Amino acid sequence: MSSKLYVAVALAGVLMGCSEQKPGTSQQSSSTVDPPSAQTTADNSVSEHVTVLPEAVQYPDGSDRRIWVYLPPDYTTSSSRYPVVYMHDGQNVFSKETSYAGEWQVDETLDALHAEGVGVPIVVAVDHGGDKRMQELSPWTNSRFGDASGDTYLQFITETVKPYVDSHYRTRPAAAHTGIMGSSMGGLMSHYAIVARPDIFSRAAVFSPSYWYSQSSFEFAEAHPLPDSHRVYMNVGEKEGSQMVDGMQAMASLHLAQQHPDEALRATVIAGAEHNEAFWRGQVTPALAFLGFLTNFDNKAEQHHE
């Protein structure tokens, strides 16, 4: 195995969302600086810095899709623009009440980092489509799960959600400041997104990716090498099984064989970790740090070790 592929012996707990534009349009503006009057939530597991877009965003199939937005605690007192991380499975990102098997607690994690003096990004979480989740998080059809609609889902993010966010919030819309993060099928989609649309995303956190879903993921990545400037943080739990571990290692090796820079790719097997939200929750901080979304993080880390 290449020395560029890191196998980390670590515990799963390491370092453990206005103008008048309507959602569903693709108009983009860089001048809007005030957030819309989004809906707050009575869910006490959700940070005060998380809101839901005030109007349901229409998915291409005509259904409504909930979009969550986390704004850094200093957003309303600052004139700064912020990088943005897009996440899948929005039900699991911020809320215990809407999660299926436990939330990621991304809001609590970022609030705590900010309280320590670390600059944090805007995070936009897109709800999955329920029983359509498997199909919309893969661009490739699987005989067991049916026809894929992943390209439609990715287009929804890039042509509907992102333009709305960029025109309603003070973002840094360029690819250099835009990331995507997800786990399992969401890991598969995050990897596909950065490979298919490197003009939109330059950072990807790929947790427990489901490369088993289709061999086409490898063929596509081989045909579309990543730009050297793009960074990918990949991981998988040791206890997720050989199919999951081997799949991630094979994808990492493929990118390294394409001469992707060592410092821009981290692929880690986490000792003792299983396929669950507790594992992924603990990986949010190291992933965001590696991808460059946490300012002053290195200084704070050094202070904690003094």
Position 23 scores a pLDDT of 42
The rounded distance, in Å, linking the Cα atoms of 204 and 120 is: 16
**Residue 249: pLDDT over 70:** yes
Task: Give residue 286's pLDDT band: very low, low, confident or very high (50, 70, 90).
Answer: very high
Task: Give residue 302's pLDDT band: very low, low, confident or very high (50, 70, 90).
Answer: very low
The residue with greater pLDDT, 303 or 179, is: 179
**Residue 31: pLDDT over 80:** no
157-178 mean pLDDT: 97
pTM as predicted: 0.86
Least confident of 147-151, 156-160, 163-167, 301-305: 301-305
Question: CATH assignment of 50-304?
Answer: 3.40.50.1820
Task: Give residue 45's pLDDT band: very low, low, confident or very high (50, 70, 90).
Answer: confident
**Residue 185: pLDDT over 90:** yes
Q: What is the pLDDT of residues 262-274, one digit of tens each?
A: 999 999 999 999 9
Q: Domain segments of the chain: what residues? A: 50-304
Q: What is the pLDDT of residues 109-132, one digit of tens each?
A: 999 999 999 999 999 999 999 999
